[in-house]
Amino acid sequence: MLPETDLFTIRVLIPVAESFGFTEEIRKRGEGITDPQLTFSHWGIISQDPFFVAKTAEQKEEFGDQAQAPTLAKMLIDKVRKRKVSFEEAKTARIGTSNGSEAGCIR
């Protein structure tokens, strides 16, 4: 709690990939009285191969059922790609309908 106020600060670390839409969600849940501010703190390398597939018998034995499961790195890549495609589709739709024609649409 900040001195002599009824305000308080909450500090949280969240992955950048999870932060998209965070501000809007906090404002909505806080009924407009919240003021979220996101600032970059640090980065780290995910030490996984996002495209790893167990091929040898040794790899399949070592990783077992998880050998076919997507890694955290692959899931993050897929999530970012999906978000970017959605953004591009929305941007293309806006361009295509902005002047009443479909001249800006990519087919």
Q: What is the chain's pLDDT, residue by residue, as a tens digit (107 residues)? A: 667 887 778 888 888 877 888 888 888 888 878 888 888 888 888 888 888 878 888 888 887 766 677 788 888 888 888 888 877 777 777 776 655 554 444 54
Phi/psi-derived region of residue 31, left when phi > 0, alpha when psi is between -120 and 50, beta in every other case:
left
Specify burial of residue 23 (Cβ count, 10 A radius: 0-12, 13-18, 19+).
Answer: middle
